Chains A and B, each alone.
Chain A
Amino acid sequence: MAKRYLILEDGSAYAGEGFGAGATTSGEVITNLSLLGYQEIITNQIYHNQILIFSQPAIGNVGINHDSYESILPTAKGMVVRDVTNISTNRLSRLSLDEFLQQHNIPGISGIDTRHLIRKLRHMDGPVKGSIVDVADAHAFDQLNATVLTNRQVDQVATPKPYPNPDTGKNVVVIDFGLKHGILRQLSERRCNVTVLPWTASAQDVLNLDPDGVLLSTGPGSPLDLGEGVLEMIRTIQAEIPLFAIGLGHELFALANGASLRPLPVEYHGSSHPIRRIITNDIIYAAQGQGYAVDDKTIDRDRLITTYVDLINGTVQGLRHRDYPAFSVQFFTDGAPGPHESRDLFDEFMEAMTAREG
């Protein structure tokens, strides 16, 4: 394998070995602390245009399989790992990680002490830009410094057109901000007749489909870049139809109901934080990926109830409207990857739709 470099905008360079595609790439570097699920992670569109650093030292050892795609095309910009394995004995494996990255022209770099790197990144003000390059010279750093990070991520990954995922059960409209397939998979398992709408859909577009429930999907980037229109849509819909919002959708639901967001000092991407379900006072685990959190102090208690809280960093992880069957969670409830125990939020959504029918 060819010698390549990971360079960061602070001028540091890390030598490693290239795998996957040989392309030169630049993007925001993001740390992921999950032990499992690299395929789901690199195909999750929340990592659009980002270079992923994995703390899990062995990556690639289960190959790539049919069941773990979270999007059709991965749009992450690169992978930084300690050791990459190209031998997989997993019975589901269809191709190696290396082959997969080559197919999609995504470069990877291995042989990096990622845990050391992650510790260092914790003390840098984000977002931190990085590149995977062949030569770490002044030209490469100039190129990196000239790279402008986009704030149009949702536009770039979310569907521009409606599409159906038909079945015979509840009629559910999913608003796509860059959804992960796990959400559609969970709805399919519950026989939902799904229509996915672009995020620019108006409340009337949604209501015209006469849905039993509406789901606001996960997605990349900052909800503050999406404008007032989508918040207006949420306020109209939540008063009419049971609403369930996840990830970016949760952040938008909070904004629509008067709360503010704050950027986290360090983004958190992993699945090791205990999350307290307040109503039953028990603990669940789930995959999380967030750069923003709902600011607890700005929550209007007359409108919203806090339903879940992260016990490590104290962030709000779930909200519910006081007046309507409308609720949201920050974490990923589809268990792809991660623990499955929060999947029953989809059952809660189903039951909210049933209760509405009376």
Chain B
Amino acid sequence: MWKQPYFVIGFSIIAFFLIGSFVYEWIWGNVPRQIYYIMEGGRAVEGAPISPNWQFPLGSDEFGYDLLGKLMLGAKYTILAALAVGALRMLIAVPLGYILGTYLDKHRKWISSLADSMHYIPLTLFAAFVLTPVLWMPPEGFTNTIWERIGIQVVIMALLTVPIVAILIANEAALLRDKEYILAAKTLGAGRLRIIRQHLYPQMREKIAVLYGQQVMETFIVFAHLGLLKLFLGGTKVSYDPMFGDPPMSISYEWAGLFGSTFRYLQSAPWLPLAPVLFIGLTIFAVSLMMEGYLRSKNPKVKKLRKAKVEEPLVEWNREQLRNNMVRIKEQEMVKAEE
């Protein structure tokens, strides 16, 4: 696994963001540097938001905070939350799927059509609908801490698509269960639990790993979508002041919030919403690199097989030649017949 360049590149991108995030906070504290205007030859040439330049690679936001610093500080919230959502979802869905696929196989059909109805509800919409009471600050303020809210959000988002993932695993397990070697194990007296542990799980380990990667990628997308709806990771600070209310704000510097609260600056300061989305895209890309690397390390045959196939000698029928030969043979026969 560690010899696969794809895996290593993907892993190092994510590790860079995570370690960088903690190191940044450790060195510079949890407030990014702030600058109100740039001086050049004794005159202010640009006020906040400052466009990207060498000193501030990603520019600054409307209050003059360094955007790169904000993104680095926020990386840990977004990435860890997405990884946690995927992990929790798999932890619930995998055993559930196995139980559905083995013990409750008779009921699998109707449960799967119930879970199938989830496919008609857009995930973002569903998440927004269910999470609004958790994340939108009520007028009297939040009653729980930010970590509690992040925890609740992770649990709810994990639960949202558990039915779909569980059914996927159940169907896969049911397919495998009809294989001969499992029938043989059954005949030898293996119980269901043993079959799951010894046969089904090892067979499906790769599929489960890929599924986990897909869940993490999906979670990143949903986070970004929720950001657009002003539902930020760990809660949205809403100002209920009717006159001078601030726009809804994110409490931490997580990426969905950085994107969602700056989306309206798309035309005037495009780097503000673009940079967080680019970072999200980069992380998703890193996850897909890791998945590909993992798969390649598990099936190195793929490459060899392909090579072998290419080197196979191709017999090209030369039609012209064939025809000439046929004509010649025919002519010889005719000559013989005449003789």
A and B associate:
no
